[in-house]
Amino acid sequence: MSGVHQTISRLRELRLTSMAEAYSVQLQQPKLHQLSFDDRFGLLVEHEASERDSKKLKRLVRSAGFPESASLEDADYRASRDIDKGFIASLASCEWIRQQLNLIVLGATGSERHGLHVPSVLRLADSVLPATFFRASDLYQEIAVASHDGSLPKLKAGLIKPSLLIIDDFGLSEISSQAAQVLLDVVDRRMRTGSLLITSQFPTDQWHGFFPDPTLADAILDRVVHQAHRITLKGESMRKLQAKRKMPPRDHVAGTMSVTSA
């Protein structure tokens, strides 16, 4: 067995740890010994590749800065919520990103806004398309800091470069004139480089009032809203509904979802 141990050790030295583990498992399963060398070796390679893809996916999702993790299957597709599963699946394919379209997800806090955009980016990461996540309040703070320390060009480049830029909870924080100008620059450049995904508790017809300058508001919203798919989630917060399940049953109004495209 010294030769076997040496092989496993060498695999680990070569950073083929998943292959080494799979090889150890093969040795403990006599039925696999009936397979040809090519078949057994193929299983080892496939296991190593699968583990690397999984680690890469986790790394990309983590580097995108998401506050939580979810999967497409986590969304609530009960008939009473009227969610078009086929449409959500088509968004998760990320073709809209390749076409450089935008996506707006509207709904109250806890209404599954995050549960709808995270699956898309999980698929996005699986396609090795870079994504960056910012809460709107954090983004405005980053812009203010970068403007003072001279790193604004670097920040803007980081906002323009990814295939997908996600701005979460838009409308909850005040937008300064400086931040609005940066947003205009970024949005204008992203029309030729990638897509935006914006989540908000407020309908888009209220967004104009969030900006300090009506001219900047017109310019930004014209570039964002008119090229966007839109998902509107209505009804109670999903967190409230989950809490109700733990309490004695009582009547409540189920939420619905409507979908419109640009």
Asked whether residue 74 carries a pLDDT value surpassing 90, the answer given is no
> What are the tens digits of pLDDT across the range 36-59?
888 889 888 888 887 876 676 566
> What are the tens digits of pLDDT across the range 176-200?
999 999 999 999 999 888 899 898 9
Dihedral sign (CA 150, 153, 159, 161): negative
Tell me 236's DSSP state: S
* Residues 40 and 101: beta-carbon distance below 8 Å: no
Dihedral sign (CA 75, 79, 80, 83): positive
Asked whether residue 243 carries a pLDDT value surpassing 50, the answer given is no
Choose between 64 and 155: higher pLDDT.
Answer: 155
Tokens of 139: 């983004």
* Residues 230 and 239: beta-carbon distance below 8 Å: no
Residue owning tokens 């204008």: 188
| DSSP H stretches of helix in 64-169 | 85-92, 95-98, 113-126, 136-149, 152-160
Which residues, other chains included, contact 241 with Cβ-Cβ below 8 Å and sequence gap of 6+? Answer: 252, 255
Asked whether residue 208 carries a pLDDT value surpassing 90, the answer given is yes
Asked whether residue 99 carries a pLDDT value surpassing 70, the answer given is yes
> What are the tens digits of pLDDT across the range 209-230?
999 999 999 999 999 988 788 8
pTM of the model: 0.64
Asked whether residue 112 carries a pLDDT value surpassing 60, the answer given is no
* Residues 238 and 112: beta-carbon distance below 8 Å: yes
Q: Between the CA of residue 16 and those of 7, 12, 237, what are the distances in Å?
A: 11, 5, 46
With bands split at pLDDT 50, 70 and 90, how would you rate the model's confidence at 3?
confident
Which residues, other chains included, contact 64 with Cβ-Cβ below 8 Å and sequence gap of 6+? Answer: 121, 125, 130, 131, 132, 133, 166
> What are the tens digits of pLDDT across the range 134-156?
889 999 999 999 999 999 999 99
